[in-house]
Amino acid sequence: MAFYIVHELKKLKTEKDGRIRVRANTALPAQAAYDIAQKLQDISGISAVSCTPRVGSFLFFYDSPKSRTQALKLLAANEKLPAFKKLRGQEVAEKNGIEKFFPLFRFLFIRPFLPISLRMVTATLHAIPFILKGIGALLRGKLCVEVLDASAIAASLYLRDFRTVSLLTLLLGLGDTLAEWTRQHSLDSLAESLTLNVATVWRKVNGTEVSTPLNKIKKGDLVVVRSGSSIPVDGIVAEGVGVVNQSSMTGEPIGVKREVGGAVFAGTVMEEGEIVIKVTKVGDETRFRQVATFIEESEALKAGIQGKSERLADMAVPFTFALAGIVYLVTRNFMRAASVLLVDYSCALKLATPLAVLASMREGTSHGIVIKGGRYLEALNEADTVVFDKTGTLTNASPVVADVIPCEGHNRQEVLRIMACLEEHFPHPVARAVVKKAQEENLIHEEEHAQVEYIVAHGVASSLHGKKLLVGSRHYVESDENIDVSPLAKEIQEQAELGRSLLYMAEEGKLAGIVAIEDPLRDEAVDVIRKLRQEGFNRIVMLTGDDTRTANAIALRAGITEFKAEVLPTDKADVVKALTDEGCKVLMVGDGINDAPALSTAHVGVAMIDGTDLAREVANVLLTKPDLNGLISARRLARSTMRRIHTNFGATLILNSIFLAGGLFNILPAGTSAVLHNMTTLLISLNAMRPHLHPLALPFGKK
């Protein structure tokens, strides 16, 4: 068992006033987790500790590097505690192993040694829930598999065949357990993802900052948020200016400027600067929580949809009852009529289908695909339209320098070198891209310039060898500093048409050059788009907040002919719903919090492993490798699984019909029919668990 850092926010350089989330690689005993949390709380400089034992997670705030180090050492020391070893080696094994398979163990190894009277009692007790379920279905006017199961069990009880009763309840219980496991697995850690995990905030009262619990904050309060901190409320900026990273909400990688009058939202992060927020919404009213509520409602709707295998099994029920009636009319023998109910279709269908689903889910995991339930395999098979969110899905969400263009009289390398020299002082993704490009070209940029002045959300200003330097956005250079950018007007237009952002550099009041920044497509994106069409997807749509020109350039590079530009974060779910209303069965691929409603609205939602926590938990399918080829493997796995389920269904109908006909015409004794029926169930179950994907056929290549 080991701890690892999941996420950390801290002030740059000083590393003070930070928050850190640490998670174990297994669940923790509740009492042990709370004991650790208390020990963390006792460390000087550690505050607002919270823990989630179910996922082995600890969140705490620290005020100095020393307190941070002490807390991490405490967690490292506790990795070897007996309590954790016991949980992982014993409690988890007991919970995941013995609890699930104890009924089978009991039937094979305990039941034969029990007294006959006790076997009768236990068989009857285990049969009662299934009989009640069948009666309930009849009262609701449904003639379904539950009714057939109850009839077969009741007939076996009447014939005092308690071994058959035990076998039937075992098989049916195993099927129900597997179905429940797939449902629960998909929602297991959603609760933690829907929590902001901010305990206290700084409230400004009469010019003084007061530490206040978040749940005590009201509308109209003033909340101070500094660089590196999460924004805990929805509100309007009342004072200050800063850069807010909204990637968790919008998916866009570059921070946006927020100044007095600008709106900010809970769940985003202050990247630079300091602002005072006038609170407009808190708690369940925030946009973050509204997204969570939308998701919870969507999940509840999905949970009520019956699986295809259950519907197919229900179709066979009237046929089985009819045959049982015919046998009784012909033979006037209740035992032979009861044998028809014992040689039914539901065992193979109810057992083989969950096994096929579970086997496919396990196989998918080994290929980097986590499918959270059988209904999502069906949805993957049926989908005919793919909707991609652009940033972080089709693209890498990591800006890079695409080109460096100097003005006349300036050298390309010199422009890049000076820009890197100034930008290395700042943590913006664009700044990091410039510095990285200079490093790749082995451009040494010594600290020869004067002190750098940082203008939030605009750029930087400094001087070198007595010359004034400016680096920043077009608005900063052209509008604020009155620099003429027309010398590179043609190049600026060309770069804009390519969908690139531009960083401008001026020297002594004149434009010196520009650097073009782009968020590149994933290496495999073009090939995956082509393969998706081959896999039967009729429409492929890209959604982006970019303007039409930029969106068109990116779509052309990706091979996508249909896109929607300038889509607001809150409108993505509406776009998916509109496609659904047109009759499309939508597969949505996204990675941000703002994508979560669209992921839930879609027929099936897919998230990448490098997406936000919320998107990963809400998605029906998770690609655990940062590679879009997982979409192709998921589609092929789903299609193969559904074909096998249908094949098993057909084989079940044909073979069991033959056995039933043999009983009807007195060709097969009841015992022989029962044996053949059980063998069929076993073979169909084994067929259900065979692998679907072969390594050489995978789009990832040979494994």
Question: How far is the CA of 25 from the CAs of 1, 56, 85, 124, in angstroms?
Answer: 6, 7, 12, 42
**600, 294 contact by CB (below 8 A):** yes
Task: Supply 400's token pair.
Answer: 């890079």
Inter-CA distances, 452 with 341, 426, 471, 528, Å: 85, 10, 11, 45
* The token pair that represents 286 in the structure block: 């925030």
Q: Which of 470, 435, 437, 465 minimizes the C-alpha distance to 452?
A: 470
**Which residues are known to be catalytic?**
389
Give the Cα separation of 490 and 405 in Å (integer).
Answer: 11
For residue 406, the 8-state DSSP code is E
**Helix, strand, coil percentages in the chain from 3-state DSSP, rounded to 5:** 55, 20, 25
Both structure tokens of 374:
């059988």
**Closest C-alpha among 376, 365, 396, 397 to residue 627:** 396
- Per DSSP bridges, beta strands 200-205 and 208-213 are antiparallel
Contacts of 111 (CB under 8 A, 6+ apart): 119, 122, 166
Dihedral angle computed from the Cα positions of residues 605, 606, 610 and 612, in that order, rounded to the nearest 10 degrees: 0
Residues 6+ apart with CB under 8 A from 493: none
Cα distances (Å, whole numbers) of residue 522 to 16, 556, 565 = 36, 14, 19
Q: With H, G, I as helix, E, B as strand and everything else as coil, classify residue 217.
A: coil
Q: How far apart are CA 321 and CA 342, in angstroms?
A: 11
- Measuring CA to CA, which residue among 147, 372, 389 is closest to residue 247? 389
Distant-in-sequence, close-in-space partners of 175: CB < 8 Å, separation ≥ 6: 350, 351, 353, 354
Sheet holding 369-371, edge to edge: 369-371, 621-623, 604-608, 586-590, 385-389, 539-543, 562-564
In angstroms, the CA 652 to CA 646 distance is: 10
Half-sphere exposure of 562 (CA within 13 A, CB side): 11
Q: What one-letter code names the amino acid at 101?
A: F
Closest CA to 314 of 468, 170, 178, 144: 144
Cβ-based neighbours of 251, under 8 Å, separated by 6 or more: 389, 390, 391, 392, 393, 397, 569, 590, 591, 592, 594, 595
End-to-end CA distance of the chain: 28
Residue 666 CB neighbour total at 10 angstroms: 12
Close Cβ partners of 102 (under 8 Å, ≥ 6 residues apart): none
Strand partners, 202: 211, 224
CB 200 within 8 A of CB 259: no
Q: CA 168, CA 174: separation in Å to the nearest integer? A: 10
Nearest to 456 by CA among 265, 256, 269, 277: 256
Distance between CA atoms of residues 197 and 87, nearest Å: 26
* Beta pairing class for 510-518 and 501-507: antiparallel
d(CA 481, CA 271): 25
C-alpha distances in Å from residue 128, one per residue of 144, 157, 400: 18, 11, 65
